Homo-oligomer: A and B are copies of this chain.
């Protein structure tokens, strides 16, 4: 049972709840998009988006120091290029923008088409395609690496640089350096809630964990019986180490993300397990966030994102002040 009125109306009703609770967000009519109504249009505006159902992504990051606008589509469906262009044009008159896109086929297609349309109109557009999910392996893994919770760290670093006056070219250089240093892996014990559907997006046998589950319920790489939070953290940290080949003393930012259906207690107990394993690995953690940043609409699971701070300039960008609904949370 979901506490909604009607699955068709859920997104527009949520929109009106969002603008009531967060008056600095303005909804863009005809879209599921929001813009920061405090944006002065003197710096490069940053946009992101994707399917709805990943709350508080991406609207929760609209505000000073992160996103200028967020464009969501229908539930688990990206917005159309037309909607993306409409929101961007509503937010700025300066013919420049930077787009942060999660690497799903349809998302990339729509955001790319939007960027092309604006470029043909003379706009200067930079783009970052986030491929942080390292759970998918195999010959075509560069194609299939999805954009997941690490995307929020890209919002933060790129958004802070934009707020400090970086040009589209400078933001592109920053994003190009940042993306290879960002990796995420997650697990789940349940599917996502889908408005209008009684059953979740998938079910697992009781007490079963699936590693590498996607945020839309794409199948994971391995299932096993749950034993402890610590063993889950161990699996994730191991897979990240294999991907990073980090050295003792490497500096990292950490994002522990609830997929929406965990308790705060679960999230923080798991975060503590991650803390202990990274300490054992002699990794230097300079920045930590733990909470509900990019969900799969109530999925009972967690993800772990690590950003290697390969450039000393990134930490102050992570720490820079923001005014958004969701970055400073819990």
Residue interface bits A297-309, CB-to-B below 8 A is 1, else 0? 1101010000000
Query: Given contacts A271-B21, A290-B17, A329-B330, is CB(A1)–CB(B232) below 8 Å?
Result: no
Tell whether A5 is near chain B: CB-to-CB under 8 Å. yes
Tell whether A235 is near chain B: CB-to-CB under 8 Å. no
The listed residue with most B CB atoms (<10 A of its CB), out of A264, A267, A271, A297, is: A264
In the complex, A268→B16 CA distance in Å?
Answer: 8
Residues of chain B contacted by A298 (CB below 8 angstroms): 263
In the complex, A206→B2 CA distance in Å?
Answer: 11
Number of copies of chain A assembled together: 2
Partner of A5, one of B263, B269, B330: B269
Residues of chain B contacted by A10 (CB below 8 angstroms): 265, 269
Query: Given contacts A272-B20, A289-B21, is CB(A55)–CB(B265) below 8 Å?
Result: yes
Tell me whether B229 and A5 are in contact (CB under 8 A).
yes
Q: How large is the interface on A (under 10, 10 to 19, 20 to 34, 35 or more residues)?
A: 35 or more
Tell me whether B268 and A5 are in contact (CB under 8 A).
no
In the complex, A187→B55 CA distance in Å?
Answer: 22
Residues of chain B contacted by A326 (CB below 8 angstroms): 329-330
Query: Given contacts A270-B3, A271-B20, is CB(A55)–CB(B263) below 8 Å?
Result: yes
In the complex, A289→B285 CA distance in Å?
Answer: 32
Tell me whether A273 and B330 are in contact (CB under 8 A).
no
Residues of chain B contacted by A291 (CB below 8 angstroms): 21, 329
Residues of chain B contacted by A285 (CB below 8 angstroms): 20
Partner of A17, one of B18, B20, B269, B300: B269
Tell me whether B265 and A5 are in contact (CB under 8 A).
no
In the complex, A3→B330 CA distance in Å?
Answer: 18
Residues of chain B contacted by A263 (CB below 8 angstroms): 2, 55, 193, 260-261, 295, 297-298
The 7 closest A-B pairs by CB, nearest first: A329-B329, A17-B268, A55-B264, A17-B272, A17-B271, A328-B328, A21-B290
